Structure 1
Amino acid sequence: MDQKWSRPGPPLAMEQVWKSYGRRTVLRGVDVVVEPGSLVGVVGENGAGKTTLLRTMVGELAPDRGAVHRQGEVGYCPQDTVVNPLLNVAQHLELFRMAYRLPDVERARTLLGMLGCEGVMEQRAGTLSGGTRQKLNLVLALMHQPTLLVLDEPYQGFDWDTHQRFWRLARRLRDGGQAVVVVSHLVHDLRHFDTVYELRDGLLTEGVRAT
């Protein structure tokens, strides 16, 4: 079951969500509520099912059992970039502007600037560095101001300056009322989150709470 609530509620709520691949059960009755204005981390060992969890959150995967409730727009930034190597940055922004039915791409340009990525509009995605492609990937997920933003290790390939810029942006989104969920494998990143959940043995449990 995958639906939107007909009444006001949090941007995301998962109730007793199960997901299996053949005989391998990845999610075993996951329950979680992500409130507006929250910055939530998800950690877990490789192979624990973090990407499956995120794909189920955003609707790319349907749960075998349980329910996923979402309110408002969703933005998803997967590990693998969604960019077309033959299109330049400006063409990507225009393509997604039309898909999101936005009046212009000014927000996207502002986001690129916040990530220290000016002057790349005419460059083809295939010629960009891995870090710059990931910045574009992130901006494409953000340019329509989603109520819920789900990021799967979004800063792969970022240098330290861009890494810091990313967290400043994440806090700004949180403080503006958006719900942000981030998969992270970096221990020093845990301090940035309001709440951290660990995915282990198919169960999502609340772990470290930021202070």
Structure 2
Amino acid sequence: MQVSDVHKAYGRHRVLRGAGLELPAGCLAGVVGENGSGKTTLLRILAGQLAPDHGVVRYAGRIGYCPQETVLNPAFTVDQHLELFQVAYGLAGLERAHELVDTLNFSAYRRHRIATLSGGTQQKLNLVLALMHDPPLLLLDEPYQGFDWEAYQRFWKLAEELRKAGCSFLVVSHIAYDTARFDKLWQLTAGQLISADSDYGCDDPSAGR
């Protein structure tokens, strides 16, 4: 993904003022910033949900987008969501989705309605829906919000496996926590992305480890 000179304003409030980044294949990257700094606006632009006022976003292939707010229907079960997204993605089967559910350890809730699930379990499903079609580029907004420690560790193990397979991640968070896991890290401040790392590089999957 290549992003250059992205601007976005809401009325007189300028949220993004020339934000840019480059995300090569097999790169695990993060964007941190205070609440209200424009992180979600940036991610929505990168995902194609929001048009920038100015700037260019380029990427090839499919993307997986996990918004901070879940995209779930409280009346449907976990399995019903998987079946709906299977149709939306045009997938032949649900083997990968079930594998991800097992990896994140909530297969016991597949027949449960969303309204009965904890916030953390709902977020796990939100993440699976973004990953189940195996996109090469993942845009994740606070993806582990509500996770317990075990689920948090499972998320990072999964992220590392996908990274080694050549997937690229952009993880957005309001706190700079566990930053050693990232190959690249930017701070979103004053509407711009400022490098906050030593730029280990992402061409070698073992870089920075």
Please report how far the alpha carbon of residue 132 of structure 1 lies from its aligned counterpart in structure 2 after TM superposition: 0.4
- Residue 71 of structure 1, aligned match among 52, 60, 63: 60
**2:3 is the counterpart of 1:14:** yes
Please report how far the alpha carbon of residue 205 of structure 1 lies from its aligned counterpart in structure 2 after TM superposition: 1.2
| Residue correspondence of structure 1 range 24-173 to structure 2 within 5 A | 24-173=13-162
Q: Give the conservation status (yes or no) of the 8 Å contact 2:32–2:176.
A: no
Identity of aligned residues (%): 54
Runs of 5+ unmatched residues, structure 1:
1-11
Aligned-partner SS, 2:19: strand
Please report how far the alpha carbon of residue 30 of structure 1 lies from its aligned counterpart in structure 2 after TM superposition: 1.4
**2:195 is the counterpart of 1:195:** no
TM-score (normalised: structure 2): 0.93
What value does the CA root-mean-square deviation take over the aligned residues? Answer: 1.1
Separation of aligned partners in 1, 2:173 and 2:165:
22
Aligned-partner SS, 1:208: coil
Post-superposition CA distance 1:129-183 (Å, at most 9, x none): 1100000000000000112100000111100000000001111111111110001
Aligned-partner SS, 2:107: coil
Please report how far the alpha carbon of residue 187 of structure 1 lies from its aligned counterpart in structure 2 after TM superposition: 3.4
Separation of aligned partners in 2, 1:177 and 1:137:
22
Aligned-partner SS, 1:204: strand
Separation of aligned partners in 1, 2:193 and 2:71:
28
- Residue 185 of structure 1, aligned match among 164, 174, 177: 174
